[in-house]
Amino acid sequence: MTYPESVRFLYALGNEVPAAKLGLERIGLLLERLENPHRACHFVHVAGTNGKGSVCAMIESALRAAGVRTGLFTSPHLVEPTERIQIAGEPVDAERFTAAFEQVHAVAERMLAEGVIECHPTYFETVAAMAFVLFRELAVETAVLEVGLGGRLDATNVVLPRICVITPIDYDHEALLGKAIESIAREKAGILKPGVPAVMAPQRPEAEAVIRARAAEIGAPILSVTEWQTADLDLRADGSRFAARGPCGFRIQIECPLAGQHQVDNAVTAVAALRALDVPPEAIREGIRRVVWPGRLERVAARPAIILDGAHNPGGARALATYIARFWAGRKVWLIYGTMRDKAVSEITGILFPLADEVILTAPAHPRAVRPEAIRELADHPRLRCASSLEEALAMTSAAEPDDVIFITGSLFLVGEARARLLT
């Protein structure tokens, strides 16, 4: 099988969210047939609504700086599915990805033929199993796992980690996780394990209460990031410098290349987790200093500035809005926006559109994308236009002046398209 054929099969299994079949039985049976690759290395397990990918990237980078052979499993990808599985800071190549797919798929097919499972593992379950197989095969020492959806019933929740991390919880995927913050938090807190320390980022009070209750119920020690403070903050459009002060007088100087106030908070969460893992301070500093996490306030052009940001839920939109107001006030702001059907479009556009001088609605090249005309019916803006594609939307920004800024946002699928178009 070729790499394109493996990718086509994965896509044929259905998009991750609508095709999600939450539960651990199928992935557990699959991994057992694969001789339990998820028990071959240590894990850091990260759940949350916003910031979990950035926190994963920072933790992995610092572990690698400490000399650990690392794995990283994240989702979704921006351009190629190989991005989801990284070894020692690099995505696996197409050949290894394909070989891992063939191995997992062959086992799944045998299980189907024997009646052990009723349907093929989902897209996410398949790629998660591939990641575990590759982590074992390539002798990973510690892998950082980003939860795909929720936590309690997510396919990554088969591991017994060294530490759990829960980033800020907000509204997203309510149809699957529940419409109340408490129910969403209950699903996220499902990754907690007896005796395993859990680093908890600052939370809404109702989410924190749920997490603490679950931790107390199972005996998971909570390490609250609220015990950390920042000082001497120098927040810039392209990152930040600050001192992080934690328990027992620990202090560390951090330089974070990821933009936005929210990334300061994410960096402190990563520092708290790394400190709990006994990672040396110099590795923490170096790892965060050189972290790369594409598509999150990523500037890909200068004059005019073009910035990509996957603000796909209300929390992400608020973080982007704060960034625009702080660093781009007084400049003409262009906003190219496209999103998916399961998102809070009215709320997100209500947060972002008032900050833009020009709004161009488009749709990612994806079957779940919302038509721009449908967004227009929900949004209110005096200078709003529709484009049938990202290419057309970018053409509409040809009148932008060198000092203007163009944000492309709303969906990581749209951000991925933009990266592929603008950086290749």
And the tokens for 261?
A: 């106030």
Number of domains the chain is built from: 2
Give the domain extent around 144: 3-289
CA atoms of 391 and 386, how far apart (whole Å)? 12
Q: Where are the alpha helices (DSSP H) in 224-313?
A: 261-276, 281-289
Q: Where does a domain end: 239, 261, 289?
A: 289
Q: Which residue, 248, 271, 289, sits at the end of a domain?
A: 289
- Indicate whether 81 and 163 sit together in one domain: yes
Residues 6+ apart with CB under 8 A from 165: 44, 45, 46, 47, 48, 52, 55, 59, 198, 199, 200, 201, 269, 273
Question: Does 262 share its domain with 304?
Answer: no
279 and 328 together in one domain? no
Three-state DSSP at 213 gives: helix
**Residues 40-86: tens digit of each pLDDT:** 999 999 999 999 999 999 999 999 999 999 999 999 999 999 999 99
Examine the fold and report which residue of 271, 289, 307 is the final residue of a domain before the chain moves on. 289
CATH number at residue 260: 3.40.1190.10
* pLDDT at residue 14, rounded to an integer: 78
Is the peptide bond between 304 and the residue preceding it cis, with omega within 30 degrees of 0? yes
CB 125 within 8 A of CB 156: no
For residues 198 and 219, state if they share a domain: yes
Report the alpha-carbon distance of residue 1 to residue 53 in Å, rounded: 31
Whether residue 248 is found in the same domain as residue 316? no
Residue 70 forms beta bridges with which residues?
142
**Is the domain of 219 the same as that of 303?**
no
Are residues 260 and 158 located together in one domain of the fold? yes
> Do 23 and 76 lie in a common domain?
yes
**Residues near 283 by beta carbon (within 8 Å), at least 6 away in sequence:** 62, 63, 65, 66, 67, 274
**233 lies in the same domain as 342:** no
The Cα 259–Cα 57 span in angstroms is 14
Got the DSSP string for 54-89?
A: HHHHHHHHHHHHTT--EEEE-S--SS-GGGGEEETT
Cα 193 from chain centre: 22
| Ranges of the chain with pLDDT below 70 | 15-21
- Tokens 């529940």 locate to 178
CATH number of the domain enclosing 415 = 3.90.190.20
Residues pairing with 327 in the sheet: none
Taking a C-beta distance cutoff of 8 angstroms, is the pair 104, 30 a contact?
Answer: yes
Q: What is the pLDDT of residue 18?
A: 47
Check whether residue 265 and residue 375 sit in a common domain.
no
Please state the pTM of the whole predicted model: 0.95
CB atoms closer than 10 angstroms to residue 319: 24
d(CA 293, CA 279) in angstroms, rounded, equals: 21
Q: Are 181 and 169 in contact (CB under 8 A)?
A: yes
Kindly state whether residues 315 and 251 are assigned to the same domain: no
Phi then psi for residue 115, to 5 deg, are: 75, 15
Assess whether 315 and 378 both reside in one domain: yes
